[in-house]
C-alpha cells in the first residue's frame, strides 16, 4: 500500500512505529537529525515498513527503529545504507562556518 504525503510532513504513524525523536540541540546532531527525518519521511511516503527496509539493509527491524529514533550513534555507512534501501543516496556538502567566511579574505 502506497502512502502519500506532502514533502516536509510526516505521514501518520503506523501502529507500533513511534514517531522519530525531535531535533537535537547542537548543529552537527541537528544536521544528522534533519537527514534522518527526511529519510524517515521518504520511508513512510514510500509505504515501506521498518521490517522491509531492514531486510533490504540486511539488519533487524529493531536496528531501523533505533536509527529512526536516534537511539544509537550513527555512522555515515549506516545512514547511507538506510538511504540506499529507500532508493536514495546520501549527498554530503561542505559550507564554511560564518566566522570563517570573512577570515579567508583577510
pLDDT digits (tens, 9 = 90+) for 37-86: 999 999 999 999 999 999 999 999 999 999 998 877 788 889 999 999 99
Secondary structure element (H or E) that encloses residue 42, with its range: helix 27-45
Statement: residue 6 has pLDDT above 50: no
How many other CB atoms sit within 10 Å of the CB of residue 101?
10
The answer to whether domain 27-103 has CATH 3.40.50.2300 is no
Model pTM score:
0.61
pLDDT on residue 14: 53
Amino acid at each position: 500500500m502506497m502512502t502519500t504525503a506532502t514533502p516536509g510532513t510526516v505521514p501518520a504513524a503506523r501502529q507500533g512505529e513511534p514517531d522519530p525523536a525531535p531535533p537535537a540541540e547542537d548543529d552537527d546532531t541537528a544536521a544528522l537529525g534533519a537527514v534522518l527525518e527526511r529519510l524517515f519521511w521518504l520511508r513512510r511516503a514510500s509505504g515501506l515498513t521498518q521490517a522491509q527496509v531492514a531486510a533490504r539493509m540486511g539488519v533487524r527491524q529493531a536496528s531501523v527503529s533505533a536509527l529512526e529514533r536516534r537511539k544509537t550513534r550513527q555512522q555515515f555507512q549506516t545512514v547511507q545504507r538506510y538511504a540506499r534501501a529507500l532508493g536514495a543516496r546520501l549527498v554530503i556538502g561542505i559550507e564554511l562556518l560564518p566566522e570563517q567566511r570573512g577570515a579567508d579574505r583577510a
